[in-house]
Structure 1
């Protein structure tokens, strides 16, 4: 038999030792609870951040090419407006593109102008979530027609009435096919085709203008790039790495040699004004000396570009040379049409040099 004292010592040696963690928890119970809560919150926050990032990465295609533009309403062909008609043509990869073509109307919209074939034609690209049956777009088309423009509006590949699957490349393929189609129409002057893009439509417009020789490029509330837009919406994410649909307008506009009109509303909360200024700067840095940027007081991202006889529409008329322009000194002047880039004697026209729109005057930043 072992002495009782020895047995007690042996039993004491078999007792588990207290870990530093246990010791900390016993000595500072409140701090330990705070630490556990902090770790749980950090883990939940990290999981939420990663989950939101995955959602953004996987859903961005639907954010740009919204399901509504592929729905039943968008697929239904409604009656064309007065004098207008639906047309179809093929893209380079074989998709069928449906577009709406409308000749210029008088200011009341009662009749097609007899000289429509000699008037400027707008090749217009619309924004996110729109389609040919979209009420705002239909109204916008009629406003342009009553302003004296022929208008062609194609549905993007994979959206609305056009076949295929929507994609960034599909935007560019749609634009090129539409331009080639317009040049073949006998009732369109191929030297007076102006490429116009609103919001998302600025991407195919800028891309096309960098590849062909239009009479001019007009951007309405157009962004610098989609990663820049995403960074504004989701500043917590590295959007320049996560954004798969790029639309790098600020890079491509450097390659445009045609006259450029950049229109933007001062209070645009969707695409901030600094993006228009960045596009203007990039165009000049690319060597284009025929650039006009007009900032329209107040207004917003959409409706300012669809107001009959509004400042935006009058600026477009002046840029295309089909409406009187009131110079800064108040003397009436009728500008000549802006010439296509690279044409004989191609110089900034009166419309490009100085446009006064109501109380908003914008002169080119030509480096004389």
Structure 2
């Protein structure tokens, strides 16, 4: 994080569009390199007969290339080109070889968090399936491309790629089809308004940066980033929009709204039922089945053209606007607001509010922006779930549930205080929590953050801490549990309140599942210190946790890199052996068998032994003339750190 980055984040003039753009770019570690070949023949010359240097493409193991080296040499032509903004970008022409039947060439702008190395196998497969040559490139700051990943560089990058097709490969505009995926739709839409390609494909497009962060935003502010919604009406080429109905990153409503704004007559869109953000390509209909069956399945509400997840998001108020653009700039608040993604409530608390009944809402079949429906509970499951509301110190009323699954004396003496991840609520989590409690033979208590589910208030960092304080007090006061009978469990963003509470109380143990170091370290992975305005500073608080702590993280986590889990683990005073789940991402760790095995070992074996050791040491300290037993016990905890 350079001085320039710091100034852009915190000093005048505040530039929220720049902050949003920087948070949007997630360039991975390069998975390939381009090396000038001394003995290879020069690659294709441009239309003026000027030959460029030939390059050899070297792919690392992380590229997971699925073809042979002969295929790589035969089908991939890689080279470097210089953009108008001074970046040198990596380009790749993927030949369909003998499979080529179409006169068109696809100009493919890829999604986020990948580079040409990682998508090279996919591009070869795509070229063969659609019988078409495919040209792609890496954005500035991605892969072997130099420069910085900025919005203005996106536009210069695709301009350069377009010019390579026109000049180097002697293609006419009518022989090029633009294809943008996710963040790649941003340069694709922009270029499509300035040239006349044969066609345009927008795969999981976004309306604008602020509409992703603030789904109810109803206008395009002058400082908004990636304003596809304003540019789409100026696309005159035929345009196909493809979007998954269960997209968890860019809501399906973005695709609907863009389709409505395209000049008529628009091409029939492809809405893929059940598909998320990263699995559309796995559906057969993506590669050629007629989309007519899907067209017209969903009709957006009148107000849906502006954003996504309308009921679940935070509307952009005048206060929000001032916080975003006026003095004093508060990037930690911006980062926090971008981090919270409350879904539309999937459950209701009905009846007497002192002892309400937990009821799963039926799925809204007419509303494409609704959250994925929660599983209906069986009668037996509903019987073990006790729901109620409680008031926090900051004035929110939060929904709480206690899941009683312990059926015998062999059950654990501990109760799990579970702080869930983002973009879900208790309705969606209830089935998982009941199953987890039964498999661990342990009662589970959970709650919804302010602004999530049936909880009132706003989803803010300071409210997270008040919410978990309230949940803790319910276990202590309402259920008469002692701190030594409670194990804190935080998942993803839920590790933020979990870590904070664990520094202020003495639970029996702590589980951190896919933890983050801090907000800025997610957005700026090279950040080496904690700035005073950083959000979610787990890295600074972790050394003050003196309870036994288990860290769980997937090695292929695409949201919070495993480096966060490793760094947290190294800073814990009383960590146990961590669980690094090989091949697991951010949302599938629970599907791996070692997850439950490690949890059981921690909860039933290690906690008992470690806490018994602390108790014995504390008793010896008291017998030796120490002060009160409580003080001695706390001292022993501190000494062991």
| TM-score, scaled relative to structure 2 | 0.39
Deviations 1:195-226 (A, max 9, x none): 01011101011011011000011100111111
What residue in structure 1 maps to residue 611 of structure 2?
Answer: 339
Partner of 1:73: 346
Structure-2 residue corresponding to 1:153: 446
Please say if 1:85 is aligned against 2:390.
Answer: no
3-state SS, counterpart of residue 291 of structure 1: coil
8 Å CA contact 2:547, 2:574 repeated in 1: no
Mark the CA change 1:153 to 1:72 in structure 2 (over 3 Å): closer, same or farther: closer
In 1, the alpha carbon distance for the partners of 2:461 and 2:155 equals 29
Alpha-carbon distance, 1:127 to partner: 0.9
- Out of 538, 556, 564, the position equivalent to 1:267 is 556
Deviation, 1:302, is 1.7
SS at match of 1:228: helix
Query: Over residues 219-253 of structure 1, what are the superposed CA-to-partner deviations in whole Å (9 max), with x where a residue is unaligned?
Result: 00111111111125xx9x99987x96610111100
**1:100 to 1:344, Cα distance in 2 relative to 1, 3 A:** same
- Range moving further from structure 2, 89-98 or 125-134: 89-98
Structure 2 unaligned segments of length 5 or more: list them.
Answer: 1-82, 88-150, 157-222, 227-323, 350-358, 361-376, 620-639
**Structure 1 alignment gaps of length 5 or more:** 1-36, 106-112, 326-334, 348-366
CA distance in 2, matches of 1:48, 1:346: 64
Alignment of 1:23-42 (within 5 A): none
CA distance change for structure 1 residues 74 and 66 in 2, over 3 Å: closer, same or farther? farther
**1:131 aligned onto 2:425:** yes
Give the CA deviation at 1:318. Answer: 1.3
Give the CA deviation at 1:266: 1.8
* 1:254–1:282 contact (8 Å) kept in structure 2: yes
| Counterpart secondary structure, 1:321 | helix
CA RMSD of aligned residues (A): 4.1
| Change in 2 beyond 3 A, CA 1:311/1:38 | closer
Contact conserved, 1:267 with 1:297, CA < 8 A, in 2?
A: yes
**C-alpha separation between the residues in 2 aligned to 1:341 and 1:181?**
28
Deviation sequence 1:35-55 (CA, Å, 0-9, x none): xx969x9xx938989754979
SS of corresponding position for 1:292: coil
Say whether the 8 Å CA contact 2:450–2:457 is kept in structure 1: yes
SS at match of 1:262: strand
Report the equivalent of 2:466: 173
Structure having greater relative contact order (Cα 8 Å, sep ≥ 6)? 1
User: Secondary structure of 2:507's partner?
Assistant: coil
CA distance in 1, matches of 2:547, 2:335: 32
Structure 2 CA distance for partners of 1:171 and 1:321, relative to 1, 3 Å: same
Tell me, what secondary structure is at the counterpart of 2:553?
strand
Contact residue 65 and residue 166 of structure 1 kept, 8 A: yes
3-state secondary structure, aligned to 2:393: coil
2:585 corresponds to which residue?
A: 300
**4+ aligned runs moved over 6 Å, structure 1:** 46-50, 53-56, 237-241
Kindly indicate whether the alpha-carbon contact (under 8 Å) linking 1:84 and 1:100 is maintained by their aligned counterparts in 2.
Answer: yes
Distance 2:338 2:510 in 1: 26
Match of 1:31 in 2: none
How far apart, in 2, do the equivalents of 1:205 and 1:228 lie? 18
Residues of 2 paired with 1:166 and 1:94: CA distance?
13
Is 1:162 the equivalent of 2:455? yes
Q: Secondary structure at the match of 2:451?
A: coil
Cα distance change of structure 1 residues 253 and 64 upon mapping to structure 2, 3 Å threshold: same
What's 1:328 paired with? none
Q: Within 1, Cα distance between the matches of 2:528 and 2:575?
A: 35
After superposition, the C-alpha distances for 1:44-99 in whole angstroms (9 at most, x for unaligned) are 9389897549799686444322242xx25366742663411112222112322211
Matched position secondary structure for 2:611: coil
Q: d(CA) in 2 for partners of 1:99 and 1:140?
A: 15
Partner Cα distance (1:255, 1:150) in 2: 27
1:102 aligns to 2:403 (yes or no): yes
The aligned length equals: 281
The answer to whether the aligner puts 1:250 opposite 2:539 as a matched pair is yes
> Quick check: 2:412–2:442 contact (8 Å CA) kept in 1?
no
Greater Rg by CA: 1
Seen in structure 2, the aligned counterparts of structure 1 residues 89 and 154 have a Cα distance that, compared at 3 Å, is same
Give the equivalent residue in structure 1 for 2:598: 315
Aligned-residue offset at 1:293 = 1.7
Higher helix share: 1
